Chain A
Amino acid sequence: MSNTERMSVAALIGVILRRKINRTIDVKWLIENEAYAQEIIKLCREQDLADLTEYADHLEKLMFPKEAFKPSGFAPTTFQTKPPTIQPIAKPIAVELPDEIEAEEEIANPNKYVGGLR
């Protein structure tokens, strides 16, 4: 399962949640942490929005592809290192990866690339 596809669906979910119910989520954490993913999928289905439900189903298939075929006695490993945070925020923010933010902070000249590339 490609990480790109997971990230794509997760980002779409993030955008819709922010627009429809003004909630922001951690997109990167969503595709890394199964418990967080299950919470978000549940949240999406509770909204009763067709597109959101569709993306939630898609994400579930990508995140838990072989859930039904696991042998009995198998305990799913969780990698949760921090509690899921789903909090409403006053101002919407973009779905942005940390490296993007870091790159913008690394600009030596703050006026570079303002109003033109060259």
Chain B
Amino acid sequence: MIARKNNPWIWLVAVGLTLSAINAFADTPTVNTPASSYKPSTHPSEPAIAVPSTSQPATPDQQAAQPVEVTGTLPIEQPTVTPTPAVPTPAAVIAAPEVAPPAPTQPYAVGFDKINSGDTAWMLSSTALVLLMTIPGLVLFYAGMVRKKNVLSTALQSFAICCLVSVIWILIGYSIAFTPGSTPYLGGFDRLMLSGLSYIKATSQLTVSHIAPTIPESVFVMFQMTFAIITPALIVGAFAERMRFTAMLAFMTLWSIFVYAPVAHWVWEPSGLLASQGVLDFAGGTVVHINAGAAGLVCAYMLGPRTGYGKVPFMPYNLVYTLVGASLLWVGWFGFNAGSAVAADGRAGMAMLVTQAATAVAALTWIAIEWFVKSRITMLGFASGAVAGLVAITPASGFVNVGGALAIGLAAGVFCYWGATGLKRLLGADDALDVFGIHGVGGLVGAVLTGVFADKAISGLDASVTMQAIAAFGTLLYSGVATFVILKIVSLFVSLRIDAEEEHDGLDLTQHAERVM
């Protein structure tokens, strides 16, 4: 296997060079709008600095809750701001009284009246929808595709990751992903164990994130937690039917901390490495899908193929489960994409519309190719095509119009079909459920095409295909190398793979002493 033959230090150096190249490229004047002219935005993928909205009318309850005078409690914090270099020109001096106050760059406290109830309601719903994508969406999607003797194990892995990552996100993940740090590579440690996050009824105060100033920070933490959960859960499909459960838990713990959270910081925190260079990723094409796809491919190489791979058929247990799972993913994806607007507004509506359009086209494209190649239309083909479309539209959903969505859906159907068939054979890895073929390839297609089809009328932002490609492939490389290192570390303490007899008997029985009747 490639990963076993090559020296890992070569890959580490390559990642370092890529990151340096991204930094260097940022100094060129061709990338997007300069920071000084960014418009206020509520979306984390935009490098704009968000300004708390005061135009939304408060509800009567909120008005009633507004304290007339706050005594004996902590005052509302003054938002921390990034100092702007002063240019003492006469015009600036004259205009000084009219200049808006600098925008906050880290979480801060506000009164209840600053919270938009419509946005909050939508984000609460979106959070539930994204969690629904993992449990039970992904659980069913994957469980239906593995052999009967591994169904429970595969389902349990996603469920266990949900519990594990929830705790990790609270302890450290959120802080290093969504607070500014001293470098663009990693966030700060101010929110470890969510310290500082507060809701104080007595003084009508609560904290908000500088990325989403119209919703409580608690809701933002939860919303982002569901993304942190589904990303490692996607990787499960690559090493299905052969990874030791304890090794899987150890790997996912380290991966969430050292891969997911840093990449989320790069892309979604305004001061992050890629966000600050104008890279666009509305809902996680790079953070979620490229990241998971690369990790899945490396896992597949490192663990080696399943016994009998390429020689005997691996019967999927029940493809109805897979279709039900894909359907739940589709529905949940509206929370994923439209929820990433972090507001109940027209842009969220556009994101929902383009999501539906791209998904439908991708599914139809996939089955058209299948009909052409195999003279059959399969249920698995429909489900796979739909997921491919959902993946590809993810980074573009807040930036493209319907025409762009249809084109992205078409490309997703073509490239992901190739990814799950031709490219899979070319790579030679036993990526059991085609995590790289669909999520990796679909994520790359979506990330690059976001640069092609981004409509400035929707987001107010320009896009650069070059920067999109650099960010996408840079993330692919970082995720792959970091995954390799983490697997090596875990393998020092626990065997990654079950032995041949255990594999023969199935993970359900040997790992969990249970089995499907």
Contacts and interface: CB of A to CB of B under 8 A. Distances in A.
A7 B313 CA distance: 25
Given A4-B517, A107-B315, A112-B313, A117 B505 contact: no
Nearest to A6: B517
Contacts of B311: 114
A8 B514 contact: yes
Closest 10 CB pairs of A and B: A113-B313, A115-B310, A118-B420, A114-B313, A113-B314, A8-B514, A15-B505, A4-B517, A11-B509, A100-B148
Contact of A116 (B315, B434, B501): B434
A1 interface: no
Contact of A11 (B417, B425, B515): B515
Interface string B306-322: 00011111111000000
Interface string A72-105: 0000000000000000000000110000100110
B515 A117 contact: no
B313 A107 contact: yes
Contact of A95 (B384, B433, B505, B514): B505
B154 to A, nearest CB: 13
Interface string B382-399: 001000000000000000
A103 B149 CA distance: 13
Contacts of A118: 380-381, 384, 417, 420-421, 434, 437
B358 interface: no
19 contacts: A4-B515, A11-B509, A12-B509, A15-B505, A15-B510, A100-B148, A104-B315, A112-B313, A113-B314, A113-B315, A114-B310, A114-B314, A115-B309, A115-B425, A116-B420, A117-B380, A117-B420, A118-B380, A118-B437
Nearest to B312: A114
Given A15-B505, A95-B509, A117 B145 contact: yes
Given A15-B505, A116-B424, A117-B434, A8 B148 contact: no
Nearest to A3: B517
Contacts of B381: 118
Q: Counting chain A CB atoms within 10 Å of each CB, which of B145, B313, B504, B509 scores highest?
A: B313
A103 B147 CA distance: 11
A110 B324 CA distance: 26
A42 interface: no
A117 B433 contact: yes
Interface residues of A, number: 23
Nearest to B384: A118
A12 B310 contact: no
A19 interface: yes
A8 B434 CA distance: 30
A12 B508 CA distance: 11
A95 B149 CA distance: 10
Given A112-B313, A117-B433, A118-B381, 8 more contacts: A4-B515, A107-B315, A111-B313, A116-B434, A117-B420, A118-B384, A118-B421, A118-B434
B421 A94 contact: no
A116 B313 contact: no
Using C-beta atoms within 8 Å of the partner chain, give the interface range for chain B. 20 to 34
Contact of B504 (A7, A11, A94): A94
Interface string B491-517: 000000000010011000110011101
B380 A19 contact: no
Interface of B: 145, 148, 309-316, 380-381, 384, 417, 420-421, 424-425, 433-434, 437, 501, 504-505, 509-510, 513-515, 517
Interface string A8-32: 1001100100010000000000000
B513 A8 contact: yes
A94 B380 CA distance: 28
Contacts of B433: 117
B275 to A, nearest CB: 35
Interface string A52-89: 00000000000000000000000000000000000000
Given A19-B501, A116-B421, A118-B421, A7 B517 contact: yes
A19 B501 CA distance: 9
A7 B515 contact: yes
A85 B273 CA distance: 68
Nearest to A114: B313
Contacts of B316: 113, 117
Contacts of B434: 116-118
A60 B311 CA distance: 40
A103 B517 contact: no
Nearest to B145: A117
A2 to B, nearest CB: 9
A56 B335 CA distance: 50
A114 B425 CA distance: 12
B513 A12 contact: yes
A94 B515 contact: no
A115 B311 CA distance: 7
A80 B313 CA distance: 36
A8 B504 CA distance: 16
A118 B380 CA distance: 7
A94 B434 CA distance: 27
Nearest to B311: A114
A104 B384 CA distance: 23
Nearest to A96: B149
A94 B425 contact: no
Contacts of B312: 114
